[in-house]
Amino acid sequence: MSLEHFCQSRLLKRQQQHRLRQRSVLASSQGVHVRLDGRDFVNFSSNDYLGLAAHPDVTQAFKEAAAQYGVGSGASHLVNGHSVLHEQLEQALAEFTGRDKALLFSTGYMANLGVISALVGRGDAVFEDRLNHASLLDGGLLSAARFSRYRHNDVGHLAEQLSSSSARNRLVVTDGVFSMDGDLAPLKELSLLARQHDAWLLVDDAHGIGVLGENGAGCCEYLCLGQDDVPVLVGTLGKAFGSFGAFVAGRESLIDMLLQYTRPYIYTTALPPAVAAASLAALDILRQPEGPRLQLKTNIACFKNRAQALGLDFLPSDSAIQPIVLGDEQRVIQVAGALRDAGLLVGMIRPPTVPEGTSRLRVTLSAQHTEADIDHLLTSLGRTLTQVAHA
């Protein structure tokens, strides 16, 4: 088969399934008001939950650091790319999450691929929630450990799998807040179960860090789980932090080992130091108790109340991620398209990101939305769903 024919047939397949994805061009900063493909929208589809991606203090910190340290880091961390700003950020993140140490990664995807492969391999076993983020599933598959998936948040199913495994080392892997569903993993139960079975627990808190818990330290703080309960904690800096990058936090021995063995850490250029400075500035803002975290909480409560009053059937979620499952791809495209015509952007999530038959709109809330924005979205959505149902 020619390469041309191969590519065309793959594309055609996606198109026939109504799963072809398209990029839009963003001509503004990220936030609640964006300019996309030449039109203005109120944005309910970004992960910039706190509005920090274009916050003046974060931008200023980035500019000042770039003026002092330049743009490129020039080398990997272990060669000579590890700057004083990376060092400061690692210390701040360790303190923030209540862990001994933290290790910065360029992206959450790389952190997950790397850490899972550094912890387990041939002869070991990895157990993953079936709705885990793609990077966690890919990390598990790449590790060459025996790979099993348990039913979503089903601790009993995981217990069965752990009981029947005789692998040398066993790693349980879960999202903290599920990225496409918005619900929380039963981390207390998972941590107890892992302990009973002498297994290790990795939690990816990409959507909880900066949002949940009294100080915003994420799902572990929210559920009072320390580094002995959740020994391997992954956080990302591209969502609530509004910046870029990721980290793993835990005991000193874990982090020291990862530094030696994690290939996506070792064989890649360090983040630009100015990006680390931006993350430090974001951390200062998101820690404030009366800051954007409080407003986000208010907005989530407002959204849930209004949605319920309108009889809209969102998934049960207390997080900034509020999905409504429509089932089929065409319906999702139709409804999201109508919302776009009304100046509203929501995420269209289809397989393979979510299981077959569960295509959905993924609404994400920001601290910067107003009550009027939320009303506009929900009334437009209510109207559109009725029209589509009767069409």
Tell me which residues touch ligand PLP (CB under 6 A): 107-109, 112, 133, 135, 175, 179, 204, 206-207, 236, 238, 246
CB of 146 to ligand PLP, least distance (A): 22
Q: Which is nearer to ligand PLP, 210 or 380 (CB)?
A: 210
Q: Which is nearer to ligand PLP, 99 or 133 (CB)?
A: 133
Q: Which is nearer to ligand PLP, 279 or 380 (CB)?
A: 279
- Which one is catalytic: 55, 77, 86, 207? 207
- Which one is catalytic: 73, 83, 135, 179? 179
Question: In the numeric block, which tokens belong to residue 63?
Answer: 């500019």
Gyration radius of the chain over CA positions? 21
CB of 341 to ligand PLP, least distance (A): 28
Pairwise CA distance, residues 245 & 106, whole Å: 5
Q: Report the residue closest to ligand PLP, judged by CB.
A: 108
Pairwise CA distance, residues 227 & 327, whole Å: 39
- Which one is catalytic: 55, 86, 133, 239? 239
Count other C-beta atoms under 10 Å from residue 26's C-beta. Answer: 14
**Is 239 among the residues known to form the active site?**
yes
247 with 262: CB under 8 angstroms?
no
Q: Which is nearer to ligand PLP, 135 or 299 (CB)?
A: 135
**Is 152 among the residues known to form the active site?**
no
CB of 184 to ligand PLP, least distance (A): 12
Q: Which is nearer to ligand PLP, 113 or 120 (CB)?
A: 113
**Is 207 among the residues known to form the active site?**
yes
Residue linked to tokens 């849930």: 304
CB of 216 to ligand PLP, least distance (A): 17
Pairwise CA distance, residues 213 & 186, whole Å: 15
CB of 93 to ligand PLP, least distance (A): 14
CB of 186 to ligand PLP, least distance (A): 16
Q: Which is nearer to ligand PLP, 62 or 378 (CB)?
A: 62
199 with 145: CB under 8 angstroms?
no
> Which are the catalytic amino acids?
179, 207, 239
